[in-house]
Amino acid sequence: MSEVRTRIAPSPTGDPHVGTAYIALFNLCYARQHGGKFILRIEDTDQVRSNQKSEDDILAALSWLGMNWDEGPDKGGDFGPYRQSERSDIYKTHVEKLLDEGHAFHCFCSSERLSELRKQQMTEKKPLGYDGHCLNLSDSDRADKLQQNIPPVIRMKVPETGSCVVKDMLRDDVTIDWQQIDMQVLMKSDGLPTYHLANVVDDHLMQITHVIRGEEWINSAPKHLLLYQYFGWEPPVLCHMPLLRNADKSKLSKRKNPASVGYYQRMGYLPEAVCNFLGMMGWSMPDEQEMFSLEEMISNFDINRVSLGGPVFDAEKLDWLNGRYLREALSDDEFIQRFSQWAFQPDMLQAIVPLIKQRVERFSDIAPLAAFFFSGMPTIDEQSFEHKQLKHEDAKKILQFIAWRIEGLDAWHRDRIETALMLLAESMGIKIRDFLFPLFIAIAGSSVSTSVIDSIAVLGLDITRARLRHAIAILGGVSKKQLKNLEKEYAALEQKSGQS
């Protein structure tokens, strides 16, 4: 048996997600336990959504958590490059091979035709998928289309009958009919591969032996297995982990839970506590010990002890665990050191000082003024929102709309936030001063404070969102019915102001 090699393959399209860290943790433990290697690969084949900042953040988040990889874009290795955008040629030659051997074909269908097709299949209650329109194009047809400059995609062929058996380390064989499997696009019209192709090619070339990934992939496993077969490669062992859940059991999402690793860092959690907590999701130490280090987890790790029910990410239990680390695992000196590192991060201070400098006369004025940058949630109650122009319902609506508005921002810069909020206030027909009032309360806990727009720019999206959610809850929360109405009203506003 060759060396065990596992990988985490995040796509750099946003804040580093705790779900990514969760899967990374189990891959890391499995590899280390078997004396193998853990690889980090960046799956940035989505040109539109991938960006460098996100990649940097993901690497930083995993490093912060102490999940060290052996090979990756930052440290190289024998199987690089480790960034898919730098491997285009590799995918091209592989897709050529599939084409030559008749396992794949060019498809010229427009997205309009495809969405029409989907609609029709929906009404006919048939399984959704490509209908094979371009499956049997003649060489001349194809030449014609290419001549007309219609950019093709390349799809994989799929057996029409029979079924595929997916073996999984954690569950019984999963049997899926080939009829359920779509003729997946392997190569997009921009010439870059889709996940399915890139993933299979890279896992093989990087000699990955065990693919431990989220349960969401189980349905596409047959596509991957089929590709391995087409290429004549031996597939890795598959293992599908349960998905982390929100309190309502839906897949963990940023809308309902702070889901970025950065949030927990900013809120003052210790990385070892977060790591420990993730290790308790779907897994437990053989003796049920609750507090354990990454090393302890690795030496006691057994993938077969993973339970398959999707665990709810319970922030309260994380708080308790983190408290224990703070109290029990750190000496006073370590505590001082770790706290200082957290509180006096140069980036953070550089952003905050210009905001407070003009408002202080003594250093002793700083703490009360800047406290809200460091505290978890401002201490506020319903009374805090008393205002001569705005009723509580108005405040609630404003906060909810702001939450939605900043959610859609493609970049987190002061000016972008300002513009967005100004436009929103205008479209709601509310004076800026009144409009901003509930935001001040929600973010800073007081209307006497540093510029609220600068402040949320410093605090970041996750913390801002958490505070907005908190404030809305204090104002009585939003019922399902209210939410529906608000959504409608908000959509109308967006339409009116022509915003996207």
Partner RNA sequence: GUCCCCUUCGUCUAGAGGCCUAGGACACCUGGUUUUCAUCCAGGCAACAGGGGUUCGAAACCCCUAGGGGACGCCA
- Return d(Cα 415, Cα 408) in angstroms, integer: 15
What ranges in 4-76 are assigned the alpha helix state H? 18-33, 52-64
C-alpha closest to that of 433 among 467, 463, 472, 390 = 390
- Return d(Cα 446, Cα 443) in angstroms, integer: 8
Nearer to RNA, 70 or 182 (CB): 182
Contact 396, 436 (CB under 8 A): no
Residues contacting 36, CB < 8 A, separation 6+ = 3, 4, 5, 6, 30, 209
Known catalytic residues are 254
Contact 381, 474 (CB under 8 A): yes
DSSP letter assigned to residue 176: E
Nearer to RNA, 193 or 445 (CB): 193
Contact 438, 395 (CB under 8 A): yes
Residues contacting 163, CB < 8 A, separation 6+ = 175, 176, 177, 178
Q: Is 323 exposed, middle or buried (0-12, 13-18, 19+ CB in 10 A)?
A: exposed
- What is the CB neighbour count within 10 angstroms for residue 441? 25
- Strand pairing of 237-241 and 210-214? parallel
Residues contacting 465, CB < 8 A, separation 6+ = 254, 258, 403, 406, 407
Nearer to RNA, 238 or 436 (CB): 238
Query: In the complex, what is the shortest distance from the CB of residue 348 to RNA, in angstroms, rounded to a whole number?
Result: 26
What ranges in 17-147 are assigned the alpha helix state H? 18-33, 52-64, 88-100, 111-123, 139-147
Query: In the complex, what is the shortest distance from the CB of residue 77 to RNA, in angstroms, rounded to a whole number?
Result: 19
Would you call 71 helix, strand, or coil by DSSP?
Answer: strand
- Return d(Cα 249, Cα 259) in angstroms, integer: 14
CA angle at 410 for the pair 407 and 411, rounded to the nearest 5°: 105
Residues contacting 300, CB < 8 A, separation 6+ = 285, 286, 292
DSSP letter assigned to residue 241: E
